[in-house]
Amino acid sequence: MRLLQRANGATASTIMRIPIRLLIAIPTVIGALAPILLLLTNYWPSTRHHTDSRLLVTSFSDGNRVGLQTGDADVKVTSAPVSPEWWRNHLKINCRKLGYNGNRNFSKTLLQNIIVDDRHKAMYCLIPKVASTTWRRIFLLLSGYASVENITSILPNEIYDKSNKYLKRLSVYTKEEIEYRVDNYFKFVFVREPYERLLSAFRNKFLVNTNSSSYFKGRFGKKIIKNYRFEPESDPDGNGVKFSEFVDYLLDKKRKIAMNEHWETFYKMCAPCKIKYDFVGKMESMLSDTDFVLSQISPEIKFHLPSRTELRYSHNKTSDFMKDFYRQLSRHSIFKLYQMYRNDFLLFNYSIPLEILNILSENSTHSLEKIISKNEIIDYV
């Protein structure tokens, strides 16, 4: 336990020593420089200098880590990507562990979640907010709808519309065509640590005021407050949902409010046992992983640099808020969430983040070493 705290402390103090303003300034500066860099390089060379590419691609990401990756020792930006062989083997072993029987009954939702590019024989299972804007753009490029010259002129809002219109979903093919693609194409997915993803979704859809969040507050917030607040209130706009109420909704086995793709398990959305993915990219190593996938499916691609607009994402990292928000939950709820997302942890090789382990170890009589060594907290509920 002491070891854990030390690790955590070291990370925190390393981050604190880098002035926050500087970290926030980095993407802005890059954004301002992007047009110039663009003129100088004119494309995203495949043998570019590592530091440069990291900065440039960072500013193109659509996650909450934008701008902090370069300074954050925790983020494995420089790590070599895990090989497809490793992922195929890992998924195979763990799917067997979960009792997957080999059936290929692809649900309609699954087929709709997968984007296909026949020219490059590639398929991508789209999970919202996990590098999805970036990948929508790349697939628009691959499909030939946009060119490297004009890809960045498509604004983020338009991307959804355009990519929905121009990108092919696996659901449009016949059964035989689907099977052929599943067997022969390069298949990949991008995922994110489940606890952090959940908090990111909550903050993004219920705490801020955007067009998207007003939809979510109306569609989910109102009902969550009505059903999971101790003294039910009715708020016509669905404002003020608490994290604990959101989690109570998720954990309700008899929940009447539908799930949503922003918090549905990756397992359900992308069926990693039925679709044998060749590669799993991670938000935590998005830069090298994106790079790797591109090198696999389209080594010739010369990619444009991000536009200024891309950079307007929140500079606050979700991981900075993990402690504050998960502390609002009971230990029991944290355990239950692990159970709920257990397949995602297992199949995508995530372990429980330090922030969560530290909370669990608070006031606890259980030995944390035991929890960690087993990477299995179910027994401690």
Ligand X SMILES: *[C@@H]1O[C@H](CO)[C@@H](O)[C@H](O)[C@H]1NC(C)=O
Q: Which stretch binds ligand X (CB under 6 A): 46-54, 70-78, 103-111, 217-225?
A: 103-111
Instruction: Please tell me whether residue 82 binds ligand X under the rule CB under 6 A.
Output: yes
Q: What are the phi and psi torsion angles at 126 (to 5°)? A: -85, 120
Q: Which stretch binds ligand X (CB under 6 A): 40-48, 118-126, 145-153, 165-173?
A: 145-153
Q: Which of 150, 184, 260, 339 binds ligand X (CB under 6 A)?
A: 150
Measured distance CA(213)–CA(350) in Å, rounded: 28
Instruction: Please tell me whether residue 146 binds ligand X under the rule CB under 6 A.
Output: yes
Instruction: Please tell me whether residue 11 binds ligand X under the rule CB under 6 A.
Output: no
Instruction: Please tell me whether residue 105 binds ligand X under the rule CB under 6 A.
Output: yes
Q: Which of 6, 78, 86, 179 binds ligand X (CB under 6 A)?
A: 86
Closer residue to ligand X, CB minimum distance, 47 or 373 = 373
What value does the CA radius of gyration of the chain take, rounded to a whole number of Å? 21
Closer residue to ligand X, CB minimum distance, 304 or 331 = 331
End-to-end CA distance of the chain: 19
Closest approach of ligand X to the CB of residue 49, in Å? 26
Q: Which of 49, 253, 362, 373 binds ligand X (CB under 6 A)?
A: 362
CB 309, CB 158: distance < 8 Å: no
CB 195, CB 143: distance < 8 Å: no
Which residue shows structure tokens 């005021």? 209
Q: What are the phi and psi torsion angles at 351 (to 5°)? A: -115, 170
Closest approach of ligand X to the CB of residue 157, in Å? 5
From the list 306, 281, 357, 295, the residue with the least C-alpha distance to 77 is 281
Instruction: Please tell me whether residue 331 binds ligand X under the rule CB under 6 A.
Output: yes
Instruction: Please tell me whether residue 94 binds ligand X under the rule CB under 6 A.
Output: no
Torsion 252-257-261-262 (CA) sign: negative
Instruction: Please tell me whether residue 351 binds ligand X under the rule CB under 6 A.
Output: yes
Closer residue to ligand X, CB minimum distance, 222 or 331 = 331
Q: What is the DSSP string of 215-250?
A: HHIIIIIHHHHHHH-SS----TT-----HHHHHHHH
Instruction: Please tell me whether residue 171 binds ligand X under the rule CB under 6 A.
Output: no
Q: Which of 316, 323, 335, 376 binds ligand X (CB under 6 A)?
A: 316
Give the per-residue SS3 of 176-218. Answer: HHHHHHHHHCEEEEEECCHHHHHHHHHHHHHHCCCHHHHHHHH
Please state at what angle helix 50-58 crosses helix 20-41, rounded to 10 degrees. Answer: 110
Instruction: Please tell me whether residue 359 binds ligand X under the rule CB under 6 A.
Output: yes
Q: Which of 147, 184, 260, 367 binds ligand X (CB under 6 A)?
A: 147
Closer residue to ligand X, CB minimum distance, 322 or 359 = 359
Which stretches of the chain bind ligand X, using CB under 6 A?
82, 86, 103, 105, 107, 146-147, 150, 154, 157, 211, 316, 331, 349, 351, 359, 362-363
